[in-house]
A and B are shown apart, each in its own frame.
Chain A
Amino acid sequence: MALNHIWFLIVGFLFIGYFVLDGFDFGVGMSLPFLGKDDTDRRVLINTIGPVWDLNETWVLVAGASLFASFPEWYASLFSGFYLALLLILVALILRGVAFEYRGKGETTKWKRTFDWMIVVGSALPALLWGVAFANIVNGVPLNAQHIYTGNLFTLLNPYGLLGGLTTLTVFWLHGLIFISLKTDGEIKDRARALAKKVGYAATVIAASFLVWTLVVHFSVIGFVLTGIAALALIAAQAANWIKREGLAFTLMVLTIITAVGALFAALYPNVLPSTTDPAFSLTIENASSSQYTLTVMSWVAAIMIPFVLAYQTWTYWVFRKRISRKNIPATAH
């Protein structure tokens, strides 16, 4: 298998890693107004992801930089083309990150409320927009012969793109709720489970329509298999939630996201950014990739570093494995 095809898989792997990890961060952030009845509740929720949200978010930086290194044409066309959508994502991520760090550094209710809303918006907006972005990547966008995007922000807000956005929004929310039920104890855990049931219905219907639509337009055997697994895992995750098997439910949600995003990358292959103007203008694995030498260098770096990264990040999750409940929350924030 040629190196540029391997790098298509590595980029896919990094984005899957990002969605699996920051996905539940988004879900936790979105749940603040629904599960957090008072300040202590909201602090329980935030502290479920306290030590890890930063490392989770870093996956998108690494995915973006790896995309730059391995497919510069793809990075250039995508990031300049999706300018305003990415601006919104950046603003959201800035607000969310600052809010986690600063909300505990003031005492007034107004102060905390302000940062709470920054967390909610800063979580929901990227959860929606990443789906819009990826749906449009798969479906293609107007690119001219120089691979330059000729649409605008509203070009991306087509029905398929919006359905993709709603899919990530609801699936990440469900993912976050199940994560909360796994990481908390007491009343808040029950509330998370109950809400997960309701959100689960919406997520299932929306995600199923989106994935089936994707499969119909871009059929492949591997896409079919991945979509099938995603659908089964999504349903099984909710069954596990009903029978209070949080660990199993969370594992199945991880599997859902891996296979669903995998199905999108399968639908994209061998393009990386199709042109709706003329298929001849599409960016593909062949015409968008870096030179053989660069890919070789980066393959060594990835082969050595990724297992190491996975090992120490797993250890971090192990260190912070304990469930959190109201009684664990200290009076003052760090």
Chain B
Amino acid sequence: MAERDLPESEKVMHIAGQALAELDPLTLSRWQFGLTTVYHFLFVPLTIGMVLLVAIMQTIWTRTNDEKWLKMTKLFGKIFLINFAMGVVTGIVQEFQFGMNWSNYSRFVGDVFGAPLAMEGLLAFFFESTFIGLWIFGWGRLSKKVHLLTIWVTTLGVWLSAYFILAANAFMQHPVGFTINAAKNRAELTDIGAVLTNIVALNQFPHTVTASIMFAGGVMVAVGAYHLKRNQYVESMYRSLRFGLWAALLGGIGTIISGDGLGLAMVQTQPMKMAAAEALYNTATGKDASFSIFTWGTPDGHSELFSIRIPYLLSFLSTHSLNGTVEGLNNLQAQYTHLYGPGNYMPIIWLTYWAFRWMIGLGLVAMLVAVVGLVVTRKGRTQLPKWVWNTAIWATPLALLAISVGWTFTEMGRQPWIVFSLMKTADGVSPGVTGLDVLISIVVFTLIYGVLAVVEFGILRKAVAAGPDVLVAQDEHADADHLAVAY
């Protein structure tokens, strides 16, 4: 039957059917992975950083019996938990979607990649989920020392979990400890030690945890500033502010040092990514290997009109030598075409170029805020103009944004590979999953995640505004009959 003979409604169905058939599962799966991962990682840094800071605060309280440290432990513990819940539920999606959306990838690397994931589960997730329950509901039920131990074991679980997942990610950046089984068409593990001590993981882990501590410190600063601006809970909130400022500064310094190490590892393992970070098209040596702070020109930096450049800096970042040579995109493209066959081996240059700059820039501004904060609030100074406190509050997202664009850089800079040199992203997608399937899941996740973000932010605000004293007062009402802590 010719199309014009169809009734109107069937024509619409027909067109809709064609549009659905054209939905590309690959593009949609990439968007879904990007969206859900960036979203998941909005909660993870605060978990990684804050669990340690809460453990330290509770340790100080256990040692000194000083009530302000108990108040701080309770308030930041509460903030930690509100955030932790979101990290947990969005984390399940992460583990499932390797198989759901990237089944060819899973088939190809499961023998290697599955091991650190399973270790994460057996060694870290069980620790985290069991001991966090003991910590939350153990107030008043466990002895002080055992209860303190539970938050430290939770910290251990959270940090181990970070290490294993970064080791798994490191395999995608720089595959090691494997052999290709041609008959089974898959990568097979030959050396678990090599996978777990991957140079990328060894450098990525300190970079991730120190940046997380910087952000968690920033959150403490914001909460302190919120109350000091209102001149309330001054004693405990001034201590929180200073503690947070130091955590942000020390975390920031750690992030710079570890970032330097990670940069060197990146040049060794993924030179294309470093070239893409600078949009360096042609190999450069020494003075010419400069770092541009800003470029005005075509979006990919290919033909620049104006830029501010620091000579030697890219050479130093890449090789720790002023006369080092940094390979350019064009040279690497030629090498890779020779090695891996025809194709485009460059990531999206404007994206990597700007993400790299925003990561560094936002991180540095966050550190600057911490340094200035330490100076202006020294020696117990809490009578400051409102705009100072507001700056401290509004500076909170800087470190988190830096972390997000940093990961965007790392993952987009690996493209077109899903596992560098072994498998392209386009080959990793699930062959049996339709574009409609992924469209449905992407819409569902976006809706739920959007609503939850609003709810979570509202709850966090409320918890911050309620302040620390009410949490400790609740304890005093607890008696033999009532549970000290309950849902």
Binding site for B on A (CB under 8 A): 43, 46-47, 50-52, 54-55, 57-58, 60-62, 64-66, 68-70, 72-73, 75-81, 83-84, 86-87, 90-91, 93-95, 97-98, 100-106, 146, 148-150, 290-291, 293-294, 297-298, 301-302, 305-306, 309, 312-313, 316, 319-320, 324, 327-334
Contacts and interface: CB of A to CB of B under 8 A. Distances in A.
A75 B95 contact: no
Given A65-B95, A72-B186, A148 B110 contact: no
Q: Helix, strand, loop or mixed for chain A's interface?
A: helix
Contact of B85 (A70, A98, A149): A98
Which 7 interchain pairs have the tightest Cβ spacing? A72-B110, A79-B99, A69-B114, A62-B121, A80-B103, A69-B118, A68-B114
A69 to B, nearest CB: 3
Given A79-B99, A319-B141, A69 B89 contact: no
Question: How many interface residues does chain B have, given as a range?
Answer: 35 or more
A97 B189 contact: no
Contacts of B112: 294
A66 B123 CA distance: 12
A69 B133 contact: no
Interface in B122-141: 122-123, 125-126, 128-134, 136-138, 141
A58 B122 CA distance: 10
B470 to A, nearest CB: 8
Contacts of B114: 65, 68-70, 72, 75, 290, 294
Contact of B95 (A43, A61, A80, A98): A61
Contacts of B134: 51, 316, 319
A150 B98 CA distance: 19
B118 A66 contact: yes
Contact of B115 (A73, A98, A101, A298): A298
Contact of B110 (A58, A73, A98, A105): A73
Contacts of B478: 330
B326 to A, nearest CB: 37
Interface string B91-103: 1110110111101
Interface of B: 78, 81-82, 85-86, 88-93, 95-96, 98-101, 103-104, 106-107, 109-115, 117-123, 125-126, 128-134, 136-138, 141-142, 181, 186, 188-190, 192, 430-433, 437, 440-441, 444, 448, 452, 455-456, 459, 462-463, 474, 477-478, 481-487
Contacts, number: 244
A156 to B, nearest CB: 13
Nearest to B122: A305
